[in-house]
Amino acid sequence: CTALPCEHYAYCISCSRCAWSLGYSSTGRPRRTDPRALGGDAMVNIPKTKRTYCKRCNKHSVHKVTQYKTGKASLYAQGKRRYDRKQSGFGGQTKPIFRKKAKTTKKIVLRLSCTDPECKAVHLHPIKRCKHFEIGGDKKGKSTSLF
């Protein structure tokens, strides 16, 4: 900053020089190169059950939490049929194959299924990206002191 102690704080996000030194871009968002912006390698731990709103029951109820996995791709989907038709015959590869993968993680999607016996509704709840994810792991309790 031009003034040593900035108008707002010792460091502020509003002026570019202070923001850059704190690891923020000029827009106020964390820089991608900053390890704090990448989320670190913290383990994300989700409980096996969650009490949340169910649209079908029209009330809050207990939901069983599992991780959503993509199903096997169908051979009869329109895009796959079109691709196979275009690939057939002579002429080599007709469509681009994506090779410049930038992301190292995928967005985690939780599959919440209502435990109400007459409901059993399922809805998906996407959460943020993380490298390590588990459902129903050990909770972090307060560490026991030695004295």
The ranges of the chain with pLDDT < 50 are 1, 3-5, 8-9, 34-38
Q: Given this model, what pLDDT does residue 34 score?
A: 45
| Beta strands per DSSP E along the chain | 43-46, 49-54, 59-67, 107-114, 122-129, 132-135
pLDDT of residue 35: 47
What's the pLDDT at 125?
A: 95
Taking the whole predicted model, whether its pTM rises above 0.85 is answered as no
pLDDT (0 to 100) of residue 21? 56
Residue 3 has a pLDDT of 47
